[in-house]
Amino acid sequence: MSDSNDNDLYQEVILDHYKNPRNYCELADATSSAQGHNPLCGDQIKVYLKIKDGIIEQISFAGSGCAISKASGSMMTEQLKGRTIAEAVELFENVIKMLTGRAPEEVDQAELGKLAALSGVCAFPMRVKCATLAWHTLRAAMTNKEDEVSTE
């Protein structure tokens, strides 16, 4: 693994969100939440949503994990606050496509904004699950799925 690859993975914006995660707290008045776990890396995350009239009024996350999982969760909450559930589902699909690199031509770059900084994980299969964990947990919280999400 060369240094330039590492730099691709840990971009400034990712380190910033890791060191100063946004919306990193439990949400006392959450209307739904879900727990996610990535056994491959040991990342644990809980996503909290306060949904009113189909709009995500509040979103937060808590837990422990590596830089990628935390930064991904932080950027996710920042991007989704105030958005509709439909928009969140659309962004979820867009982000998963970007992170897994399966359909790069279908990725809406404009929609991704800052999240594009995470695209470097494509080259690191071990880290893809760190980056997708928050999003799968979000998806579970939106559908009120009780079971813990696991990337395995």
Site residues, Zn ion (CB under 5 A): 41, 43, 66, 69, 130
Choice between 32 and 35, CB closer to Zn ion:
35
Return the closest-CA partner of residue 47 out of 66, 67, 69, 68: 69
The nearest distance, CB 43 to Zn ion, in angstroms, is 4
Choice between 56 and 96, CB closer to Zn ion:
96
The nearest distance, CB 50 to Zn ion, in angstroms, is 26
Choice between 66 and 89, CB closer to Zn ion:
66
Choice between 51 and 117, CB closer to Zn ion:
117
Q: Return d(Cα 152, Cα 146) in angstroms, integer.
A: 17
Q: Return d(Cα 60, Cα 138) in angstroms, integer.
A: 10
The nearest distance, CB 29 to Zn ion, in angstroms, is 29
The 3-state DSSP class for residue 74 equals helix
The Cβ of residue 6 has, within 10 Å, a number of other Cβ atoms equal to 11
